[in-house]
Amino acid sequence: MRKICVIGTGYVGLVTGTCFADLGNQVTCLDIAPDKIEKLQRGEMPIYEPGLEELVARNVAGKRLTFTTSYPDAVPGAEFIFIAVGTPSGVDGEADLQYVRMAAESVADVMTNYTIIINKSTVPVGTGDSVAEILRERGKQPGVDFDVVSNPEFLREGSAMFDFQMPDRVVLGSTNRAAAEKVAQLYLPLRCSIMITDLRTAEMIKYASNAFLATRISFINEIATICEKLGADVKEVAAGMGMDKRIGRAFLDAGVGYGGSCFPKDVKALTWMAEINGCHPQMLRAVMEINRDQRRQAVTKLRDLLGTLRGKTIAVWGVAFKPNTDDVRESPALDIVHILQTEGAHIRAYDPVAVENARKISHGIQFCDSAYTAAENADAVVLVTEWNEFKNLDFERVAATMKNKILIDGRNIYDAERMQAFGFTYRGVGRGYGSS
Active site residues: 262
Dist CA 369 CA 8 (whole Å):
32
Dist CA 208 CA 101 (whole Å):
23
CA distances (Å), 311 to each of 49, 77, 102, 300, 339, in order?
Answer: 37, 62, 48, 16, 14
Dist CA 377 CA 208 (whole Å):
46
Q: Which of 316, 14, 21 is nearest to 4 (CA)?
A: 21
Beta carbons of 261 and 327 less than 8 angstroms apart: yes
Q: Is the backbone of residue 428 left (phi > 0), alpha (psi -120 to 50) or beta? A: beta
H/E stretch holding 174 reads strand 170-174
Other Cβ atoms within 10 Å of 414 Cβ, number: 19
Can you spell out the DSSP letters for 323-344? TT----TT-HHHHHHHHHHHTT
Q: Which residues contact 240 (CB under 8 A, 6 or more apart)?
A: none
Pairing of strands 115-119, 80-83: parallel
Provide the CA 146 distance to its chain's centre, in angstroms: 31
Q: Which residues contact 105 (CB under 8 A, 6 or more apart)?
A: 134, 138
Dist CA 246 CA 79 (whole Å):
42
Q: Which of 161, 135, 166, 164 is nearest to 148 (CA)?
A: 135
Other Cβ atoms within 10 Å of 401 Cβ, number: 12
